[in-house]
Structure 1
Amino acid sequence: MRRNMGKTKPSEVVIVGAGPGGLAVAMLLAKAGVQVTVLEKRSQVGGRTSTIERGGFKFDIGPTFFLYPKVLREIFKTSGYDLDVEVPMTRLDPQYRLVFGAGGELLATPDAERMRQAIATISPQDAARLDNFMTQNRKKLTSFIPFLQSPFESWKDLAKPGMMKLLPLLAPWRSLDQDLQQHFKDERIRLGFSFQSKYLGMSPFQCPSLFSILSFLEYEHGVFHPTGGCGAVTQAMARIAREMGVKILLNEPVEQVFVENGKAIGVKTTRHSLPADAVVVNADFAGAMRQMIPNHQRRKWTNETLAKKDYSCSTFMMYLGIDGCYDEVSHHTIYLAENYRQNLKDIETLHRLSDNPSFYVQNASVTDSTLAPKGSSTLYVLLPVTHETGSKGSNSVDWEMETPRFRKLAFKQLEKIGITDVERRIRTEKIITPSDWSSEFNLYKGATFSMAHSLKQMLHLRPHNRFEDIGQMYLVGGGTHPGSGLPVIFESARITSRLLLQDMKIEPRWESVSPISDDELVGVAS
């Protein structure tokens, strides 16, 4: 039974942002008996996990890979719903097609024997090492899951004996590519198992070795396509949240978080002032802090500090509704340019556009006929590019000038994976540049994946789920621990919800994940 410190009315929580993390928190808090209001500045729920609809065509705005549904399945079950009933999904096989500019292709499949055969066509010696990669990363994931399920609020959380025992397995001193060199000698194969670092907006040559678990997750637990796209997931979450009593107000941008005596006591929107016992922020962290909370009220995360942090890459997006369908092109295709390392240098160091960029295409209509009118299909085209480097007028890329040229280059690149004659077939088109991510979605520097996941910005060094600068304020989403990616964001929702309920002296009405003990950690590590 819920305990509420003697209050006669339910606790009231305001959630800023109806992205996947905010909606998951809303469901969990509502289940615990909390009165929840979600404020969303846009006209639809989902944030970057929402849907663009144009002329009968539907496109995911952001995420298109749905991985590791276990976490969200548990949140749905907690709330009294069945994810697989509410959001039908197709497990993809092949998962995606990798095309290497240096030569060769890899049709990635979760079938181990077929995957070994596919690797052998490029590097026979590496095919024999697939089992070893899977075994080691199965152990790595099992070992690290407890840390993905627990808050990290100080360096002391790192100093536990169990965590120290895990260091040889996690090898934080190695990059992802260095870690993969233990398994695969051919750089193309390593790229095939490390391009997933782009889910975090990072280079495999800079990304910590821990994230080899991303490709492992795909092969062990599957790559899924929700019918209607990933936006259908957040739409279902919003519907369920409303059924559970959550108020969701759209077209309601938050202008300010009210802070009194160092604690969040409510928010101000363009139309309302709402009091709250706690405020949860599900928005781009740096963008939200700079907009909603005066600089002097933030001790640790000041504007000056935020400006010095490392941020992920951005993306140049093309959403194309076309006549006909490219039936021979896979649901997901990743093209890895021959000059992949130079691409990354252009993005991360030189902050300029590449002449031969890598790219990703989702051709989802080969799987899902609901996304386009009959006889038509959708193409989602993503090219990783530099984030914005300064204030307006001082960025290294002028997107108003560069967009037409880069668009033409993108069409030329598509020919390398068999997508030709696109322009003539376009019925609807939308482009989003880093400048648009910044202006339309309030992403600081247009960094699509928020703060980078470097070692100096992970665990307790990321903004905390229980926000350290302001009491009664909590964070959820890719900008806080554990980080970016839908399954990890859903895990951040569980962490944040548990902390908030703990602080309010409210018993959760779901089975909580108990932090693993040091003895258990030692056992896992060994």
Structure 2
Amino acid sequence: MKANHSTRKAIVIGAGPGGLAAGMLLASQGYEVNMYEKQSVVGGRSSQLKLGEYRFDRGATFLMMPHLIEELFRVSKRSLYDYVDMQELTPMYSLHFGDKVFQPSRDREDTAAQIATLFPGDEAGYYRYLEEEDVKLEKVMPLLRRPFSNLTDYMRSDVFRALPKLHLNDTVYGRLSKYFKDERLKMSFAFQAKYLGMSAWDCPGTFTILSYLEHRYGLFHPKGGINAIFESMAKVISEHGGHVHTGVGVKQVITEGRTAKGVVLDNGETVYADHIVINADFSTAMNQLFAPGVLRKYSPDKLAAKKYSCSAAMLYLGVDGAIDLPHHSVHFSEDYHRNVDEIMKKKTLSEDPSIYVHNPSVLDPTLAPAGKTALYILMPTPNLTGETDWEAKREQVKEQMLSRAEMIPQLADLRERIEEMSFFTPLDWEQQLDVYQGATFNLTHHLDQMMTFRPHNRFEELDGVWLVGGGTHPGSGLPTIFESARISTSMIFKQDGIVITDETHADQVMTEVTHS
């Protein structure tokens, strides 16, 4: 007998990308959705930041595979493009190695021609990389679209088909060395390991697929910033009768035995529901949302023993005048391997850091006053498990980042032009946005923290609790975070006897949970 899902209630804790996607899918199927977000805006660590008349994406700025987001909207009886104007970036980004600048795009012939000029002899390896990664994508995608709840999930045919292509015994750097000889070109396809907060020299070889996804599907900019997508998701939830409560945090999940029944809000109010979807930072949630003794597997000591990604120091700058830099540019340190080892292994600050510069004002006039620029500069840093005293080092690191930026010719007089500035450190990520250890990319993707070894979409500790976001399967990064929401909500629908009528969604997601 089917459940009358029109009366079913769902609470979503956290309005980050995964929580918004889950809330949208649930609300569109008639669930009474209440989403609680501690911050005043939606988007979590990828929300909008306002400084005077300037607007910024606080976190994620690389948007790939918008068709995945459109699928979420379509299943929710909406179209993404009715809410957001999207522009493809050509070239995708500008990669700077001293005086050499590489600007790849989805135009394979143009990219190969650049490689032939800048890194002669490696253009054949580029085509081979694309061909082999295309096969890998076909094998990997099914594993990212279904849950891994126990070891028996590895016994299915899709795993056996994928295993030879996963390159689990190699690293991203090792795999790229099979295609390219020039170290700078390897870095052009390896820096994406930072999306997982990992080193290309340690990141499993599976993740060479990250740069391939960019080269196959391209990168995009939504007008107003990536946060515009999240604000649109919140709007869809409301249109379906759901409620997005900003500025309202959750204090504790209410449990009876081994089942979650509701939540206590920070204001003392108690709210009950059939399902609790947790989109808060995973380890922070485990440490803060449950009464002592409720959790058995995720004690504070066990959480502290897990592996966490690197962090990032951020400068958000409102700058007078236009800046002649591309939308995305990465400026590599002279010794990138050393730079990465200092961050990931030694957990120290680099004297010669790499930086990423986001300059969306070059194509989006909504982000800054006319003739001015909203500029975002990111420097990867160790997370808070390192020894850096961020309160003591705060000004020093800020000045280091400004000095590094002013080494870029287009930013030579940057300090003189700054009208608004906000500086965000790993300590700020933890204290202001509840990011455990300031690890902005969540749990790492080492083999012992992937698939069934990652926290499960159906929370194994308690019935009625579901996880979405970077801290659960399939992992961090916007595309996989959205997939986590699809997996978790599909499991909810299956449990409640609900059949999704959208054929694409049914084919790609619902059939994947039949063995869960």
Instruction: Point out the more displaced range, 33-42 or 103-112.
Output: 103-112
Q: Secondary structure at the match of 2:103?
A: strand
The offset of 1:513, in angstroms, is 3.7
CA offsets 1:478-507 (integer angstroms, 9 cap, x no match): 110001111111111100001112222333
1:42-441 to 2 correspondences below 5 Å: 42-101=39-98, 104-271=100-267, 272-327=269-324, 329-389=325-385, 396-418=387-409, 419-441=411-433
What residue is the counterpart of 1:496 in the other structure? Answer: 488
Q: CA RMSD in A?
A: 1.6
Matches of 2:507 and 2:295, distance apart in 1? 31
The offset of 1:104, in angstroms, is 2.0
Gaps of 5+ in 2: none
The one-letter code sitting in structure 1 at the alignment partner of 2:318 is: G
Contact (CA 8 Å) 1:16, 1:254: kept in 2 or not? yes
Matches of 1:498 and 1:10, distance apart in 2? 18
Distance 1:32 1:412, change over 3 A: same
Matches of 1:467 and 1:508, distance apart in 2? 22
Contact (CA 8 Å) 2:262, 2:270: kept in 1 or not? yes
- 1:481 and 2:449 matched: no
Contact (CA 8 Å) 1:3, 1:507: kept in 2 or not? no
- 1:33 and 2:30 matched: yes
CA offsets 1:141-163 (integer angstroms, 9 cap, x no match): 11111111000011211233441
Matches of 2:49 and 2:472, distance apart in 1? 26
Q: Secondary structure at the match of 1:321?
A: strand
Contact (CA 8 Å) 2:28, 2:237: kept in 1 or not? no
Instruction: Point out the more displaced range, 160-169 or 495-504.
Output: 160-169
The offset of 1:113, in angstroms, is 1.2
Contact (CA 8 Å) 1:178, 1:205: kept in 2 or not? yes
The one-letter code sitting in structure 2 at the alignment partner of 1:413 is: R
Q: Secondary structure at the match of 2:30?
A: coil
Gaps of 5+ in 1: 390-394, 519-526
The one-letter code sitting in structure 1 at the alignment partner of 2:229 is: V
Contact (CA 8 Å) 2:348, 2:382: kept in 1 or not? yes
Contact (CA 8 Å) 1:146, 1:516: kept in 2 or not? no
Contact (CA 8 Å) 1:348, 1:386: kept in 2 or not? yes
Q: Secondary structure at the match of 1:37?
A: strand
Matches of 1:98 and 1:333, distance apart in 2? 6
Matches of 2:398 and 2:145, distance apart in 1? 41
Contact (CA 8 Å) 2:199, 2:341: kept in 1 or not? no
The one-letter code sitting in structure 1 at the alignment partner of 2:344 is: E
The offset of 1:265, in angstroms, is 0.4
Distance 1:515 1:362, change over 3 A: closer
Matches of 1:133 and 1:182, distance apart in 2? 9
Distance 1:515 1:58, change over 3 A: closer
Contact (CA 8 Å) 1:109, 1:219: kept in 2 or not? yes
The one-letter code sitting in structure 2 at the alignment partner of 1:116 is: A
Matches of 1:507 and 1:260, distance apart in 2? 29
Match of 1:443 among 435, 448, 454: 435
- 1:456 and 2:444 matched: no
Matches of 1:307 and 1:433, distance apart in 2? 20
The offset of 1:295, in angstroms, is 4.3
Distance 1:516 1:88, change over 3 A: closer
The one-letter code sitting in structure 2 at the alignment partner of 1:326 is: I
The offset of 1:3, in angstroms, is 2.4
The one-letter code sitting in structure 2 at the alignment partner of 1:230 is: I
The one-letter code sitting in structure 2 at the alignment partner of 1:435 is: L
Using structure 2 for the length normalisation, give the TM-score.
0.96
Matches of 2:374 and 2:50, distance apart in 1? 11
Q: Secondary structure at the match of 1:451?
A: coil
What residue is the counterpart of 1:524 in the other structure? Answer: none
The one-letter code sitting in structure 2 at the alignment partner of 1:186 is: D
What residue is the counterpart of 2:2 in the other structure? Answer: 3
Q: Secondary structure at the match of 2:353?
A: coil
CA offsets 1:187-231 (integer angstroms, 9 cap, x no match): 111110010111111111111111111111111111000100011
The offset of 1:294, in angstroms, is 2.9
The offset of 1:347, in angstroms, is 1.1
Contact (CA 8 Å) 1:256, 1:268: kept in 2 or not? yes
CA offsets 1:25-77 (integer angstroms, 9 cap, x no match): 11111122111110010111111121111211000000001111111111111
Matches of 1:127 and 1:250, distance apart in 2? 50
Instruction: Point out the more displaced range, 406-415 or 447-456.
Output: 406-415
Contact (CA 8 Å) 1:322, 1:428: kept in 2 or not? yes
What residue is the counterpart of 1:512 in the other structure? Answer: 506
Contact (CA 8 Å) 2:30, 2:240: kept in 1 or not? no
